[in-house]
Structure 1
Amino acid sequence: MYSGSDSDTDDNEYPLLRGKPFLKVTKAPACCSARYSLAVLSFCGFFMAYALRVNLSVAMVEMVKTIINNSSASHMCPGHASSFVIQHNTTAPVYDWDADTQGWILGSFFYGYLFTQIPGGYLARKFGGKWFLGIGILGTAVFTLLTPLAAHLGAGYLIAVRVLEGIGEGVTFPAMHTMWSSWAPPLERSKLLSISYAGAQLGTVVALPVSGLICFYLDWTFVFYIFGALGILWFLFWAILVSDTPENHRRMSLLEKEYITSSLKNEMPCLTKTIPWGSILKSVPLWAIVMAHFSYNWSFYTLLTLLPTYMKSILGFNIQQNGFLSALPYLGCWLLMLLGGQLADYLRETWMVRTVIVRKSFSIIGMVGPAVFLVAAGYTGCNYTMAVAFLTISSSLGGFSMSGFNINHLDIAPAYAGILLGITNTFATIPGMVGPIIAKALTPSNTVEEWQIVFYISAAINVFGAVVFSIFGKGVVQTWAVADFHSHGN
């Protein structure tokens, strides 16, 4: 029978399961390997997923009629007042949607996204993550192609399409976590996952400015046609080249297959069909991840959906400038996410820093740091350089959190990582639903003072989540996540 407490006293053992000796295996080369090929393909998948998700944030600026009056113009920074009257060729329709309607449209994606998190993790564990992730992004791409038609039919139809897109994307992260539980050796976990999920940040980086250029030189409808078609193209590559597990991969070397399976033996000696739902829901370390994930996503989703609006309404940038400047924060986040993954595994493997220390340290940097610079951004006034710089630094530092609480699911319960991510991402989706609506409600006149309140709220929630995770987070496999623990009725 498995024995041991849930303390972190043995957290420096490798791999992460306490009481098991570290099994020395020959490390397979990373170059041209199947596991890094999976990381690259999943990187491209999350690139498309986030490009399909955020393009509406920029397109919305062009989809809605802008009424200029003395009251609204007085809130703009004077240096860019002319940007609203720049003319560009467009034949696409515009709509009379008020601020509340826009908030509901921008947040509607997350209503669908919420409901497929836990089912996505459960079904991916049972049937494999490849097709759930692939078809999820394919469905999002198809509904993206239908977005202009839905907008023409009315705001209600557009909200419905965005909800369906969210349903498709809701399975992606749990399915990917499930796949990595079978593919990622413990000492390469931070690197592989940071490469994989960094696609989300780069997708945002590319989609925001490219959407602005498409809106300017073509019209906003082409934003959805182009990105939707690219999403379908990615699915074809994913369907042909990816396997659910190393055992099913037909082209990988025997050395790499042995390296992966042997590295994971101590963490998942055997999988049971029974899922310990009661123990999962009572796990304090899991709820620590929930709080961190919820808190981080509050500021992340608020900026993701409303940063183009802030750039236009407060700083007065035109549609071309808007897309590029809105992308800068996510470019920094992408770079630091990749750097953080390399640094986290280096600290664990070379310096033998305990996993729990690495996860908590990276979470603090990736949550408290953004909070400080987000508040500072609210006090830059019309200093465009400082405003953009502080927003960029804020989001960039958030990239470190990927090697913090975001990967911690695989540390505490690798056999159920997809299910755990489904649970935490369910709660972490709530900010995407209510954040834009609350932010829109708090900024009816789009004044600097109103946006300061939005930034204060986001920063306070971020700090709260970092504190909770720092106190209650763990870095070792929990007793309830071990197969032989269940087999003895415990």
Structure 2
Amino acid sequence: MKSPVPDTTPSDCEEGSDCTPLLQHAPRAETAPVCCSARYNLAFLAFFGFFVLYSLRVNLSVALVDMVDSNTTAAENRTSSECAEHSAPIKVLHNQTGVTFPAMHAMWSSWAPPLERSKLLSISYAGAQLGTVVSLPLSGIICFYLNWTYVFYLFGLVGIIWFILWTWLVSDTPDTHRTISPYEKEYILSSLRNQLSSQKSVPWIPMLKSLPLWAIVVAHFSYNWTFYTLLTLLPTYMKEVLRFNIQENGFLSAVPYFGCWVCMILSGQAADNLRAKWNFSTLCVRRVFSLIGMFGPAVFLVAAGFIGCDYSLAVAFLTISTTLGGFCSSGFSISHLDIAPSYAGILLGITNTFATIPGMIGPVIARSLTPENTIREWQTVFCIAAALNVFGAIFFTLFGKGEVQGWAVSDHHGHKN
């Protein structure tokens, strides 16, 4: 094993600042190889886990169309007459995550070296997007040529296979992994040595007083408001105002998620390269990627309200907006691990709790603002969502942090472990 290479820190850096992306007070082992490594095996298994998770969600939405009685009473018709009709409506459900993301964040707190976090987490969570891309058209094909029951048989079998592989190959920490190489284990443990806490209890009070945490909360809340507007309300706008339903076309339904998947993978690689090779600070990278991933969707969301009856542009704007949102996967979305690796799962649970609120109140507010379903009414809805997204991006830029916070590595008396 090669001896650790000491990390160099500029002499004018203050302790606890984020002027360099490298660890400032601990030696850093040379990067362990990627090929056949335990940490990347974990990333790919997590990828397929989220692939299965979102496949099971989407296929229910598609199969439900065949499951329900065709004679069910139609819902109240609120379709606008401003634009010519292109197709008939169809109902597609959208739902949101539970314990899986916080659990994965908690696992990565022990597995992800600081300079590989963007890559590893973007690979993991991109499985959700690909699961949507694959299962949306595939479930429709299965329902058409076979029967809706085969949708559950197929994806259920895939889920069982993944579960067996996960329980057999994955360990909670590098210390307990059966096949990890000593070199890789040392690389991971040495990179995290000064970032993890040995406290037995959670420092709730300093955690909840932490402004960087609330910066993530605001960004997560704002991003999800636009996210839900794009993926729930914009299709509604297209159906009821533009008289075109993107959900009827499996390919068009999958394109926005495919764009987001590609963007997540590429942005994760770019973010870590900027930190490791170009010496960009962690905070700088998180700020830039959050700004792109929140300002971009805001711009195209506003534009969607001013396109008149051009449903082709609406599809294009939906795709571009969702794609640009993928930058946030390497922005505020993983800042929980930057500021408090030991409590990343708890922090994500807190931020995600607030981030689910837009999914509950966003559609209600949109309905109250669009009693006549006119284009002008929907412009107001889109502008509100865009303004929230811009506010969240600015708030995170001003108050977000990229280094481990003192309360995350100290005991209750403020002394380092």
Q: Post-superposition shift, 1:187?
A: 0.8
Determine the C-alpha separation between the residues in 2 that align with 1:257 and 1:487: 29
Q: Post-superposition shift, 1:66?
A: 7.9
Determine the C-alpha separation between the residues in 2 that align with 1:307 and 1:386: 12
Asked if 1:200 corresponds to 2:128, the answer is yes
Distance change in 2, residues 1:189/1:204 (3 Å): same
Do the aligned partners of 1:368 and 1:462 also contact (CA within 8 Å) in 2?
yes
Deviates more, 1:295-304 or 1:353-362: 295-304
SS class of match (2:166): helix
Residue of structure 2 equivalent to 1:435: 362
Query: In the alignment, which of 31, 36, 48 is matched to residue 32 of structure 1?
Result: 36
Do the aligned partners of 1:11 and 1:355 also contact (CA within 8 Å) in 2?
yes
Do the aligned partners of 1:209 and 1:327 also contact (CA within 8 Å) in 2?
yes
Residue of structure 2 equivalent to 1:114: none
Distance change in 2, residues 1:44/1:343 (3 Å): same
Determine the C-alpha separation between the residues in 2 that align with 1:231 and 1:457: 39
Deviates more, 1:228-237 or 1:35-44: 228-237
Determine the C-alpha separation between the residues in 2 that align with 1:35 and 1:286: 27
Q: Structure 1 stretches of 5 or more lacking a match?
A: 1-5, 86-93, 95-101, 111-168
How many residues are paired up?
402
Do the aligned partners of 2:410 and 2:416 also contact (CA within 8 Å) in 1?
no
Residue of structure 2 equivalent to 1:113: none
Residue of structure 2 equivalent to 1:340: 267
Deviates more, 1:444-453 or 1:468-477: 444-453
Give CA deviations for 1:349-399 in whole Å, capped at 9, x if unaligned.
111111111111111110011000011122223323311111111111111
Do the aligned partners of 2:21 and 2:282 also contact (CA within 8 Å) in 1?
no
Asked if 1:294 corresponds to 2:298, the answer is no
Give CA deviations for 1:145-169 in whole Å, capped at 9, x if unaligned.
xxxxxxxxxxxxxxxxxxxxxxxx5
Do the aligned partners of 2:409 and 2:416 also contact (CA within 8 Å) in 1?
no
Give CA deviations for 1:41-79 in whole Å, capped at 9, x if unaligned.
10111122222334455556675858599984735544x
Deviates more, 1:455-464 or 1:203-212: 203-212
Query: In the alignment, which of 179, 184, 201 is matched to residue 107 of structure 2?
Result: 179
Give CA deviations for 1:98-141 in whole Å, capped at 9, x if unaligned.
xxxx8xx957x55xxxxxxxxxxxxxxxxxxxxxxxxxxxxxxx
Identity %: 65
Residue of structure 2 equivalent to 1:353: 280
Determine the C-alpha separation between the residues in 1 that align with 2:246 and 2:324: 26
Asked if 1:265 corresponds to 2:265, the answer is no
Determine the C-alpha separation between the residues in 2 that align with 1:449 and 1:212: 35
Give CA deviations for 1:400-436 in whole Å, capped at 9, x if unaligned.
1111101111111111111111111111111222334
Query: In the alignment, which of 164, 169, 177 is matched to residue 236 of structure 1?
Result: 164
Distance change in 2, residues 1:199/1:283 (3 Å): same
Distance change in 2, residues 1:59/1:458 (3 Å): farther
Task: Supply the AA of the counterpart residue of 2:321.
Answer: S
Do the aligned partners of 2:246 and 2:253 also contact (CA within 8 Å) in 1?
no
Do the aligned partners of 1:28 and 1:256 also contact (CA within 8 Å) in 2?
yes
Residue of structure 1 equivalent to 2:48: 44
Determine the C-alpha separation between the residues in 1 that align with 2:146 and 2:250: 15
SS class of match (1:272): coil
Do the aligned partners of 1:368 and 1:466 also contact (CA within 8 Å) in 2?
yes
Residue of structure 1 equivalent to 2:9: none
Distance change in 2, residues 1:384/1:489 (3 Å): closer
Do the aligned partners of 1:72 and 1:445 also contact (CA within 8 Å) in 2?
no
TM-score (norm 1): 0.73
Query: In the alignment, which of 125, 128, 138 is matched to residue 210 of structure 1?
Result: 138
Q: Structure 2 stretches of 5 or more lacking a match?
A: 1-12
Determine the C-alpha separation between the residues in 2 that align with 1:69 and 1:287: 40
Determine the C-alpha separation between the residues in 1 that align with 2:341 and 2:398: 22
SS class of match (1:407): helix
Which structure dedicates a bigger proportion of its chain to helix? Answer: 1
Asked if 1:483 corresponds to 2:410, the answer is yes
Residue of structure 2 equivalent to 1:381: 308
Deviates more, 1:334-343 or 1:479-488: 479-488
Do the aligned partners of 1:295 and 1:465 also contact (CA within 8 Å) in 2?
yes
Task: Supply the AA of the counterpart residue of 1:36.
Answer: Y
Do the aligned partners of 1:308 and 1:326 also contact (CA within 8 Å) in 2?
no
Do the aligned partners of 2:20 and 2:282 also contact (CA within 8 Å) in 1?
no
Do the aligned partners of 2:80 and 2:241 also contact (CA within 8 Å) in 1?
no
